């Protein structure tokens, strides 16, 4: 292998695939990055056996070849080089990669590329494309609601349903549920539902970044892997096996009280209360007071911590229905309010013991359901 490329390009490529490098693993080679010199470009791949990222960097290839080298070592070294041309050389029958750039050079001991776990190839199955912006929004508004602990594996993933031109993303952790609907650029030939690990989608969102080109999604025939093809990178993820709970019955069909508030103001009082709620198991109490002829309606948000203190905040609201009370975990409230980009949000309640629903105003593609906490009023 013999090639030259720009430090800037190589560094960017390494930081992209670096996200898929295993941190601690029983298979040590997964802490390496696979470098393959192809026709006029350098392919970088990494996998942690859950997801694999492949990325191509423009390079002048004089001789093809491949090798794996420790990811940290390579990316730290390349990162510290000035932006200049880097000569990469792997002598025949050698496992020591030579890097040379101006006054600097390094030798990195690698492992044979044949030992690297194969990066899954997905050629068959269901393919579709989606606008980068819609996918980005969907992931951002859903992924945070997925469970982080492993006791129910399906909940650590995001239920992804391709149905005609519709893409439905849903995540739940037993206390909250987020459902986002968006349209695909091209319809799928048959309805398909898979569970994609939330970690993968968070990484995907980072990869999409500012990209404007549509993203191509392919689910393989066996429904065990999914491929996201971006402008200059590919992400393949294993899919979580199992079936996602039927969440549609969790979404309340009606409400007795509804309050429409400005998101930013609502978020501010919520965050304020979280300061006191820290010492009170995260509990905040919400009271929706209907407006009268003279005064507008309002939501009162309060938190009280025994022997620490308490606070109360109010937000003006357009209300509908009778007075209502409910208590939430403050994190579940602030999490959802911080990912919404709309100006206003509606909070719909029935009783203090039934879940509350949050819907952004102006769009009808997002629902968030939060379970209440039981408190003495």
Partner 1 sequence: MWQVIGQDKILSLLDYSLKTDAIAHAYLLVGPRHVGKGTLAINLAQALNCDGPELPCGQCRSCQRILEGKHADVTPIGLDSKTEIGIDDIRGLQRLANLPPYEGKCKVFIIDDAEYLSTEAANSLLKILEEPPPRVVWLLLAAEEKHLLPTIISRCQRLELKPVPSEQVQEVLVNSYNVDADKAKLLTQLCHGRLGWALSALANDDILEQRSQRIARLVSLLTPTSRSLEQRFAYAQELASQFSQNRRAGTEIIEIWLDWWRDLMLIKGGCQEAVINVDYEIALEEQAGGLSLSEIKGFLANLCLLQEEISKNVNPRLALEWLMLNLPRRESPKH
Binding site for partner 1 (CB under 8 A): 24, 26-27, 29-30, 47, 49-50, 115, 117-118, 120, 150-151, 153, 156, 197, 222, 224-225, 238-242
Question: Which two three-digit tokens encode residue 60?
Answer: 């002048």
Coil, strand or helix at 15? helix
Nearer to partner 1 among residue 218 and residue 225 (C-beta)? 225
DSSP assignment of 85-127, as one string? EEEEE--TT--EEEEEETTEEEEEE-B-GGGSPPPP---SSEE
Q: Least distance to partner 1 from the beta carbon of 208, Å?
A: 23
Q: Least distance to partner 1 from the beta carbon of 23, Å?
A: 10
Nearer to partner 1 among residue 134 and residue 156 (C-beta)? 156
Task: Tell me which residue has tokens 């203090």.
Answer: 352
Using left for φ > 0, alpha for ψ between -120 and 50, and beta otherwise, residue 212 falls in alpha
Backbone angles phi, psi at 34, to 5 degrees: -90, 125
Nearer to partner 1 among residue 103 and residue 222 (C-beta)? 222
Q: Least distance to partner 1 from the beta carbon of 242, Å?
A: 7
Question: Which residue, among 240, 229, 198, 219, has the nearest Cα to 53 in the 3D structure?
Answer: 229
Q: Least distance to partner 1 from the beta carbon of 302, Å?
A: 38
Handedness of CA 202, 208, 210, 213 (dihedral sign): negative
Task: Tell me which residue has tokens 């209360």.
Answer: 273
Nearer to partner 1 among residue 117 and residue 290 (C-beta)? 117
Nearer to partner 1 among residue 37 and residue 240 (C-beta)? 240
Nearer to partner 1 among residue 197 and residue 356 (C-beta)? 197
Q: Least distance to partner 1 from the beta carbon of 188, Å?
A: 21
Q: Least distance to partner 1 from the beta carbon of 47, Å?
A: 8
* CA angle in degrees (0–180, nearest 5) for 158-284-290: 100
Do residues 95 and 42 touch, judged by C-beta distance below 8 A?
A: no
Q: Least distance to partner 1 from the beta carbon of 14, Å?
A: 22
Query: What's the rounded Cα separation, in Å, for the pair 311 and 373?
Result: 18
Nearer to partner 1 among residue 39 and residue 243 (C-beta)? 243
């Amino acid at each position: 292998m013999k090639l030259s490329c720009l430090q800037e390009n190589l560094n960017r490529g390494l930081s992209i695939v670096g996200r898929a490098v295993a941190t601690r693993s029983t298979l040590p080679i997964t802490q390496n990055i696979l470098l393959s010199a192809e026709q006029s470009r350098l392919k970088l791949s990494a996998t942690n056996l859950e997801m694999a990222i492949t990325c191509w960097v423009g390079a002048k290839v004089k001789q093809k070849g491949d090798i794996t080298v420790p990811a940290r070592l390579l990316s730290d070294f390349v990162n510290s080089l000035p932006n200049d041309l880097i000569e990469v050389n792997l002598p025949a029958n050698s496992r020591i990669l030579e890097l040379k750039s101006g006054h600097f050079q390094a030798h990195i001991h690698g492992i044979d590329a044949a030992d690297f776990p194969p990066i899954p190839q997905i050629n068959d199955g269901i393919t579709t494309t989606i606008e980068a912006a819609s996918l980005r929004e969907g992931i951002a508004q859903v992924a945070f609601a997925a469970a982080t602990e492993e006791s129910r594996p399906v909940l650590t993933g995001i239920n992804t349903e391709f149905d005609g031109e519709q893409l439905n993303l849903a995540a739940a952790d037993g206390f909250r549920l987020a459902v986002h609907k968006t349209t695909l650029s091209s319809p799928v030939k048959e309805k398909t539902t898979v569970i994609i690990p939330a970690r993968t989608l968070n990484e995907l969102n980072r990869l999409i970044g500012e990209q404007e080109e549509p993203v191509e999604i392919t689910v393989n025939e066996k429904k065990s892997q999914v491929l996201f093809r971006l402008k200059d990178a590919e992400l393949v993820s294993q899919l979580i096996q199992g079936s996602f709970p039927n969440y549609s019955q969790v979404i309340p069909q009606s409400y007795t009280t509804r309050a429409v508030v400005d998101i930013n103001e609502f978020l501010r009082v919520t965050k304020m209360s979280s300061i006191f709620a820290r010492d009170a198991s995260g509990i905040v109490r919400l009271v929706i007071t209907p407006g009268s002829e003279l005064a507008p309606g309002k939501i009162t948000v309060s938190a009280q911590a025994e022997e620490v203190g308490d606070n109360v905040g109010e937000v003006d609201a357009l209300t509908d229905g009778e007075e209502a009370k409910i208590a939430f975990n403050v994190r579940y409230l602030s999490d959802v309010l911080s990912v919404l980009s709309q100006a206003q949000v509606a909070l719909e309640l029935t009783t203090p013991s039934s879940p509350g629903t949050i819907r952004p105003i102006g769009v009808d593609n997002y629902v968030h359901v939060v379970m209440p906490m039981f408190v003495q009023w």
